[in-house]
Amino acid sequence: MHMELEKTFRFEAAHWLPTFPEGHKCRRMHGHSFAVDICIAGTVDPALGYLMDYGQISQAWAPLDEALDHRLLNEIEGLENPTSEMLAAWIWGRLKPQLPNLHRVVVHETCTSTCTYQGD
């Protein structure tokens, strides 16, 4: 039985987007209440009746929360240009070793703007 599990995490952070044109509102420093959906996909172990304990996803996320929450994203190595696209790929790169069944990372920058990354 193939399933997808999804767990959502939230963090607050500031950033500015250095590649946007001068005068663009996103070129100025501003903040967001980010939400990130972590999706795991795979086959349910018939003996256990589940794919993965949600707690394992939380454990994998914990160091990222420490790195991202209430931070200036531009100051984090690899996020000097912290667009949603770059942030989604950065998160993927750090979670994939701990979550081999990682299927999708969705970054919600605002209530109506999301970016989905499914690896290369």
The active-site residue, picked from 2, 70, 77, 111, is: 70
Residue 100: count other Cβ atoms within 10 Å of its Cβ: 9
CB–CB of 57/99 below 8 Å? Answer: yes
Q: Name the strand (E) or helix (H) holding 89.
A: helix 84-95
The active-site residue, picked from 26, 32, 103, 115, is: 26
The active-site residue, picked from 15, 39, 108, 109, is: 109
Distance of alpha carbon 41 from the chain centroid: 16
Q: What is the DSSP string of 11-29?
A: EEEEE--TTSPTT-GGGS-
**Residue 39 is among the residues annotated as catalytic for this protein:** no
**Residue 4 is among the residues annotated as catalytic for this protein:** no
**Residue 30 is among the residues annotated as catalytic for this protein:** no
Residues with active-site annotation: 26, 70, 109
